[in-house]
Amino acid sequence: MIKSGCSIRDLASYVQVAPSTVSRVLNSRRNNVRITEETRKRILDAAQELNYTPNIHAKRLFGKKTNIIGLLVPSYEKMRRHIFEDNHLVRIISGMEQYFQECKYNLLLLFNDDDFIKEKRYLKLFMEKQIDGLLIWGTRHDEAWARELHETGFPYIFLTNTPDDCESLNYIKIDYRQAANDITRLLLNKGHRHIALIRGKPYLSITRDQEQGIREALAAESLTLDENMIFDSKYQFDDGYAATRQLLAGKHPVSAIITASDTMAAGVIAALDKHNLRVPDDVAVASLDSVEGLNEFNHLSPVTAKVPDLEIGGAASRQIIRLIDGKIERVQDVFPMKMVSGETA
Amino acid sequence: MIKSGCSIRDLASYVQVAPSTVSRVLNSRRNNVRITEETRKRILDAAQELNYTPNIHAKRLFGKKTNIIGLLVPSYEKMRRHIFEDNHLVRIISGMEQYFQECKYNLLLLFNDDDFIKEKRYLKLFMEKQIDGLLIWGTRHDEAWARELHETGFPYIFLTNTPDDCESLNYIKIDYRQAANDITRLLLNKGHRHIALIRGKPYLSITRDQEQGIREALAAESLTLDENMIFDSKYQFDDGYAATRQLLAGKHPVSAIITASDTMAAGVIAALDKHNLRVPDDVAVASLDSVEGLNEFNHLSPVTAKVPDLEIGGAASRQIIRLIDGKIERVQDVFPMKMVSGETA
DNA sequence: TGTTTAGATTTTACCTATTGACTATTTCCG
DNA sequence: CGGAAATAGTCAATAGGTAAAATCTAAACA
């Protein structure tokens, strides 16, 4: 059993100085405060020797920062319905890791079940000064809550998806409209004219953005999206599978299928396979929302737009700390997606 | 800007009692301490009214628990090489979520870069009383470190993979040997006699356990594993792809391929596809380490052993808290994997 | 030599909640 | 009616740090 360090007073009496002197040696930057080089050295040496570790709670009690950032993610119940997002989450966290390590910040995972918002637990975390800032990812948030959070003055950033009206809020998001547009143009350039869409949940702004991007690209070629070839989904394999079988059973010709997730793209491919159709020769498959670094589907689908998760995580870590330090007061970043034309296999 | 609560003194003077009385009302269990029902009510009401939130750091300064559990995971550099594990991580965390929520515990993510162990930062966390316990997942740990951690007396549990010699350590692990054995027996029952193995990193105990399970199953039928049909890998798509092409180019007949990860199974399937071989009719494909809940591969591969991530997460959350509370002093759980015979499509 | 003054450190107050020891009041019982 | 016991609550010490103000020392100056 390792003994649990000593207090600043123990250290001080060991070196025969006042506790405050120790505190100043250990905390003030070099030239801010005047201390003889000799005293400084004696204290630092003794700190080493006695294995002194300042009690972090005492520090925080004095109103210091906690150096902890909260990351609010959907609770399992919601997560389960968005399994395709899991890899995004780990990637985003990976993107944050480096900078947080450098700045000695830690990440506290918070699960956004309904109670979190109802009971205003985020406010509690804030008031208890448990975290210095809040990053919000993948949760569905009503505007009222966003507004309330905003008005607390507490540093926060919405990541990837935002409440609908987010003009004055802090966010880092992705240009889904542009990505969908790019993907569609790419398919059009390859000669595809019969394009089906298996979209995500229609109430999400992401879904609307994507659809808009597709329609704009089609409109540029004087084409429109055939309403019979639009399917709703819950991002799951089976949704892609079922929609594709329905498509193939119908009378409309299909040359390309755009899906809202990789998981669905796999379902589409499985269904095409059942019909002995080859990808991408017979039917092209595209995913609007791929996880970077996962390359299974590169070998199968021609076009994917990858979410720049690492960059988003990196930006999030840097920006939240700048918010906390008061160096900026608004974060509104938009990242482009990464296009991959997938013909690597 | 919401005002940041009031102190116990503010509340006390508002109700005209001593701060200690407030503390007693708010903390002591009912019959432990004697306070008139009337005073109690006045204090509780005022606490509501003034929105009193006790300063958590002051509490902790007094030696209370932090109600924070550290979860040590590989840092990105290592993670990138084990991308297939990402979904495991999220699932494990999901499994922890519910119980931690119930017990009001939070999860602090810690990244195990080399410095973490070298600088003994875990010890610092412990001594600074920042976390009450430590869960360790997916990191490569030498025995010396494990032993040192163990001797601090600090509550910890190794999850899924453990140091080689872990007799006296705390762990929750998976019976990979049995799972590999089951999978092999299943393939044998289906008549497969020419089984190839694309295994993981040979220095991991997991890999050895899996191989042992396979060999035992084969031995029961008086068969052996053909050394020419064993391949090493880094769990990636390309490893599965390359190994399969090599297999098919060789002279040995192959009727089933066992891989160490789903990602590789996908690579195997892609390679088989190139050779116009169908799964599972022409060649069966099995994965020794699947992510539960991801069902893309169910439609493609006949047999998978799924890691019971949710259960492991759940057990981890329950056991670490029991360790912390001193209700138990050793955790050595072994979970069976879940066999899925995959013929669902 | 007496007075400033800069430099180095200490003193003291404070941050907020907890808890063991203590006081004051009331009740009970012989 | 006096003393013991129960009741209701307060006081003061404590936890481990920080920082403003105070003090002490020695060099610098007139």
Which tens digits make up the pLDDT trace of B302-344? 678 888 999 999 999 999 999 998 899 999 999 999 888 766 4
Residues A196-247 pLDDT 10s: 999 998 888 889 999 999 999 999 999 999 999 999 998 888 899 999 999 9
A61 touches strand C (CB under 7 A): yes
Euclidean distance between CA atoms B39 and A238, whole angstroms:
61
Euclidean distance between CA atoms A176 and A209, whole angstroms:
6
Chain A residue numbers touching B274 (CB-CB < 8 A)? 345
Residues B118-169 pLDDT 10s: 666 776 777 677 899 999 997 766 788 888 889 888 899 999 888 888 889 9
Identity of residue A276: N
Q: Could you tell me the pTM of the whole model?
A: 0.87
Q: Which residue of B has its CA nearest to A60?
A: B57
**Residues 109 to 138 of A: which have CB under 8 A from any B CB?**
109-111, 113, 123-124, 126-130
Q: Is B97 on the interface with A (CB under 8 A)?
A: yes
Which strands sit side by side in the sheet containing A284-291, from one edge to the other?
A230-231, A195-198, A256-259, A284-291, A303-307, A338-340
The number of residues in chain A equals 345
Residues B48-82 pLDDT 10s: 888 888 888 998 888 888 899 999 988 876 555 55
Q: Is B281 on the interface with A (CB under 8 A)?
A: no
Going by C-alpha positions, the residue among B289, B275, B297 that lies closest to residue B343 is B297
Report the gap between the CA of A221 and the closest CA in chain B (Å): 35
Euclidean distance between CA atoms A1 and B142, whole angstroms:
20
Per-residue pLDDT averaged across A269-298, rounded? 79
Which strands sit side by side in the sheet containing B284-291, from one edge to the other?
B230-231, B195-198, B256-259, B284-291, B303-307, B338-340
> What's A338's DSSP letter?
E
Give every CB contact of residue A168 below 8 A, 6+ residues apart in sequence.
A150, A330
Confidence (pLDDT) at A3: 46
Confidence (pLDDT) at A211: 96
* Helix axes B37-50 and B19-27, enclosed angle (nearest 10): 90
DSSP-derived 3-state class of residue A127:
helix
Residues B264-302 pLDDT 10s: 888 898 889 889 888 888 999 999 988 766 555 545 556
Confidence (pLDDT) at B69: 94
Torsion of CA B200, B201, B204, B208, to 10 degrees: 50
Confidence (pLDDT) at B31: 58
Euclidean distance between CA atoms B110 and B116, whole angstroms:
9
Gap between the terminal Cα atoms of chain B:
56
* CB-neighbour burial class of residue B67 (10 A; exposed 0-12, middle 13-18, buried 19+): middle
């919601």: which residue's tokens? A78
Confidence (pLDDT) at A345: 40
Structure tokens that stand for B197 in this block? 């193995």
